[in-house]
Structure 1
Amino acid sequence: MWLLDSQPCPIDHVCRAGTAEAPALQGRFGTLTYADLDAAVGRLAAWLGAQIHEPGGRVASWMGKTRLACLMPLACARAGMVHVPVNPLLKHAQVAHILADSGAAILIGTGARLDTLDPDNIPQGCALVREDVLEAAMASANDSLPPSAADPDTLAAILYTSGSTGQPKGVMLSHANLWLGAVAVAQYLRLTPDDRTLCVLPFSFDYGQNQLFSTWAAGACAMPLDYLTPRDVIKAVDRYDITTLAGVPPLWVQLVEQQWPPEIAAKLRRLTNSGGALTRPLVERLGALFPQADLYPMYGLTEAFRSTYLDPALVDTHPDSMGKAIPFAEILVVQPDGRVTDDDEPGELVHCGPLVAQGYWRDPERTAERFRPAPVASTYGGIAVWSGDTVRRDAEGLLYFVSRDDAMIKSAGNRISPTEIEEVAVQAPNIAEAIAIGVPDERLGAAICLLLRQRETSDAGEAEHMIKTHLRAELPNFMQPGYIRFVDQFPRNPNGKIDRVKLAREFTP
Structure 2
Amino acid sequence: MSINCIRTLIEDANISHPQKVALVYGNEKLTYGELFTKVNQIALYLSELDLPKGSRIGIYSNKGIDQVIAILATLSTNYVLVPLTKFLKPEQVEYIISDCDIKCIITDRVKIESIEEIKFNGKIISYETTNKDLPSFEEIYKYYNKPYVCNINGHDNAIITYSFGLGGQPKGIVISHRNLIDSARVVSSYLQLKEDDVISGLLYFNLDYGLNQIFCSLYKRATLALHRFVLPTDFFNHLINDKVSVISLMPINITEMFDEEEYKLPNPSLLENIRIIASSGGNVTAKMIKDIEKYFVKAKFYSMHGLTEAFRSTYLDPSQLKIRPDSIGKAIPDVELYVIDENGNECPPRVVGELIHRGGYIYKGYWNAPKETKERFKSIQILKNVINLEGQLTDEIVVQTGDYVYKDEEGYFYFVSRHDDMIKTRGYRVNPYEIESVVKRELKDIEKCAVFSIENEEIEEEIVLVYSAKSELSSSEILFELKKHLASYMIPSKIIYKKSLPLVPSDKNKINKEELKKELISK
Q: Cα gap change, 1:488/1:36 in structure 2, threshold over 3 Å: closer, same or farther?
A: closer
Once residues 36 and 489 of structure 1 are traced to their aligned partners in structure 2, the CA distance between those partners, rounded to angstroms, is 56
Matched AA of 1:490: I
State the match for 2:88 in structure 1. Answer: 90
Q: Secondary structure at the match of 2:68?
A: helix
- TM-score norm. by structure 1 comes to 0.77
Q: Secondary structure at the match of 1:38?
A: helix
State the match for 1:145 in structure 2. Answer: 148
Q: Is the 8 A contact 1:59 1:107 kept in 2?
A: yes
User: In the alignment, is residue 61 of structure 1 matched against residue 64 of structure 2?
Assistant: no
Once the two structures are TM-superposed, the CA of residue 49 in structure 1 deviates from its matched residue by 0.4
User: In the alignment, is residue 11 of structure 1 matched against residue 6 of structure 2?
Assistant: yes
State the match for 1:243 in structure 2. Answer: 245
Q: Is the 8 A contact 2:77 2:152 kept in 1?
A: no
Once residues 127 and 465 of structure 2 are traced to their aligned partners in structure 1, the CA distance between those partners, rounded to angstroms, is 37
Once residues 50 and 221 of structure 1 are traced to their aligned partners in structure 2, the CA distance between those partners, rounded to angstroms, is 31
State the match for 1:450 in structure 2. Answer: none
Which residue of 101, 105, 111 maps to 1:103? 101
Which residue of 25, 28, 39 maps to 1:27? 25
Report which stretch shifted further, 13-22 or 236-245. Answer: 13-22
* 1:18-417 mapped onto 2 (5 Å cutoff): 19-28=17-26, 30-117=28-115, 119=117, 121-122=118-119, 124=121, 126-133=122-129, 134-140=136-142, 141-146=144-149, 148-162=150-164, 165-258=167-260, 259-374=265-380, 375-376=383-384, 377=386, 382-406=396-420
Over the matched positions of the two proteins, sequence identity in percent amounts to 29
Report which stretch shifted further, 87-96 or 366-375. Answer: 366-375
Once residues 215 and 346 of structure 1 are traced to their aligned partners in structure 2, the CA distance between those partners, rounded to angstroms, is 38
Larger Rg over CA atoms: 2
Q: Cα gap change, 1:76/1:488 in structure 2, threshold over 3 Å: closer, same or farther?
A: closer
Q: Secondary structure at the match of 2:23?
A: strand
Q: Secondary structure at the match of 2:114?
A: coil
The number of aligned residues is: 426
Once the two structures are TM-superposed, the CA of residue 86 in structure 1 deviates from its matched residue by 0.3
Q: Is the 8 A contact 2:42 2:137 kept in 1?
A: no
The higher-RCO structure (CA 8 Å, 6+ apart) is 1
Superposed CA deviations along residues 296-348 of structure 1, whole A, max 9, x for unmatched, are: 00000121011111111111212111111112322222223332222222111
Q: Is the 8 A contact 1:176 1:354 kept in 2?
A: no
Superposed CA deviations along residues 20-39 of structure 1, whole A, max 9, x for unmatched, are: 22211111362222222222
Superposed CA deviations along residues 411-443 of structure 1, whole A, max 9, x for unmatched, are: xxxxxxxxxxxxxxxxxxxxxxxxxx996789x
Once residues 3 and 141 of structure 2 are traced to their aligned partners in structure 1, the CA distance between those partners, rounded to angstroms, is 32
Q: Cα gap change, 1:441/1:26 in structure 2, threshold over 3 Å: closer, same or farther?
A: farther
Q: Cα gap change, 1:385/1:163 in structure 2, threshold over 3 Å: closer, same or farther?
A: farther
Q: Secondary structure at the match of 2:365?
A: coil
Q: Secondary structure at the match of 2:368?
A: coil
Once the two structures are TM-superposed, the CA of residue 117 in structure 1 deviates from its matched residue by 3.6
Matched AA of 1:44: I
Q: Is the 8 A contact 2:38 2:141 kept in 1?
A: no
Once the two structures are TM-superposed, the CA of residue 165 in structure 1 deviates from its matched residue by 3.8
State the match for 1:413 in structure 2. Answer: none
Once the two structures are TM-superposed, the CA of residue 213 in structure 1 deviates from its matched residue by 0.7
Q: Secondary structure at the match of 1:111?
A: coil
Q: Is the 8 A contact 1:200 1:247 kept in 2?
A: yes
Q: Is the 8 A contact 1:352 1:381 kept in 2?
A: no
Q: Cα gap change, 1:151/1:277 in structure 2, threshold over 3 Å: closer, same or farther?
A: same
Q: Is the 8 A contact 1:163 1:169 kept in 2?
A: no
* 1:421-500 mapped onto 2 (5 Å cutoff): 490=521
Superposed CA deviations along residues 23-82 of structure 1, whole A, max 9, x for unmatched, are: 111113622222222222222111110113311111000112111211223211211110
Matched AA of 1:289: Y
Q: Is the 8 A contact 2:232 2:258 kept in 1?
A: no
Q: Cα gap change, 1:84/1:440 in structure 2, threshold over 3 Å: closer, same or farther?
A: farther
Q: Is the 8 A contact 1:352 1:385 kept in 2?
A: yes
Q: Cα gap change, 1:14/1:336 in structure 2, threshold over 3 Å: closer, same or farther?
A: farther
Report which stretch shifted further, 22-31 or 49-58. Answer: 22-31
Q: Is the 8 A contact 1:370 1:387 kept in 2?
A: yes
Matched AA of 2:194: T
Q: Is the 8 A contact 2:59 2:71 kept in 1?
A: no
Q: Cα gap change, 1:175/1:485 in structure 2, threshold over 3 Å: closer, same or farther?
A: closer
Once the two structures are TM-superposed, the CA of residue 118 in structure 1 deviates from its matched residue by 5.2
Superposed CA deviations along residues 468-494 of structure 1, whole A, max 9, x for unmatched, are: xxxxxxx88969989988999828xxx
Q: Cα gap change, 1:476/1:190 in structure 2, threshold over 3 Å: closer, same or farther?
A: closer
Q: Cα gap change, 1:485/1:59 in structure 2, threshold over 3 Å: closer, same or farther?
A: closer
